[in-house]
Amino acid sequence: PYLDGLEDILTSLDDSFVLSIQINRPKARNALRTNLLKELADTLDKATHDDMVRAVVLTGGAKVFAAGADITEMADKTPVDVMNDPRSGYWMAIRNFPKPMIGAVNGFCLGGGNELAMHCDVLLAGTNAQFGQPEINLGIIPGAGGTQRLTQMIGKSKAMRMVLSGQFMSAHEAEKAGLVAEVCEPELTIDKAMALAKTIATKPPVAARLAKESVLKASDAMLAQGIAFERRSFATLFATQDKAEGVSAFMEKRKPTFKGQ
Ligand code: CO8
């Protein structure tokens, strides 16, 4: 492995300067518990300063990318807990990673999982991929930039449909909407991402870094305000009874009843 002692992700660096990172919590559908985000942030921090890494492939493997934040872990959090959460620091490390990162998405890519995918610079998806922001079913909203990045990537109408209804989007629709660059057979997704990362790794690293930074500048200034607003709204919702009901219903495997409280 690239970093030792990791529990929730698998890492390896090959001799073509490509670091691959695989989210590895299959029993919890790769849910992004805090430790997982920390391991991801630590790995990317190391890779930032390592000349042997010129590009990264991020995947969840053949079956699932990530089913969102770990709902069990967040069940008892208050708005103040959310505002003080170390998770936002880990997200910042992911957001600020300066080298090209290719996402290979198979299966469910939901909630925080979709937000993580949207932090990748290029997304490739297997035909079995399903994208969604189902937070509304839990009485909350996306909290790691989802409302902003999704809107930017697929436009207001499709973003609203996803965020307000919690409905999933298929891989083909995601490609049509501009969320992913290419759809392929699920068994090819990771190979194709590796091939693209290897091509990018042959390019001059400083130019690649500045190209990434420049493309992101097309939208970053607009994003900052929206992300801050979204984060505050997300925290506020942790004070609602509907959030408690949404989370309890998920854990008890029943349908929630929402009251607007
Ligand atoms: N967190 C924790 N555990 C999860 C999660 C999750 N996000 N998703 C799935 N799991 C667990 C299930 O509880 C189940 O555990 P167990 O085997 O112990 O019962 C196991 O993974 C398998 O899940 P399913 O049996 O449901 O598997 P299916 O293949 O039938 O369905 C789905 C897969 C569609 C992914 C389904 O599990 C699902 O809908 N998951 C939740 C998706 C979701 O709502 N994601 C958004 C989460 S919210 C978020 O990311 C933003 C911030 C969240 C803060 C939370 C505050 C309360």
For residue 28 and ligand 1, the question of a CB distance below 6 A is answered with yes
Which structure tokens are listed for 229? 């607003």
Supply the pLDDT for residue 229. 87
Element (H, E) at 229: helix 205-237
Supply the pLDDT for residue 74. 87
Supply the pLDDT for residue 225. 82
- The pLDDT tens digits of the residues spanning 198-216 come to 999 999 999 999 999 988 9
- Residues 6 or more apart whose Cβ sits within 8 Å of residue 4: none
For residue 163 and ligand 1, the question of a CB distance below 6 A is answered with no
Give phi and psi for 16, each to the nearest 5: -105, 20
What's the chain's average pLDDT? Answer: 95
Closest residue by Cα to atom 45, ligand 1, is 68
Q: What is the mean pLDDT of residues 101-116?
A: 98
- The pLDDT tens digits of the residues spanning 25-65 come to 999 999 999 999 999 999 999 999 999 999 999 999 999 99
* d(CA 137, ligand 1 centre) in Å: 12
Supply the pLDDT for residue 202. 95
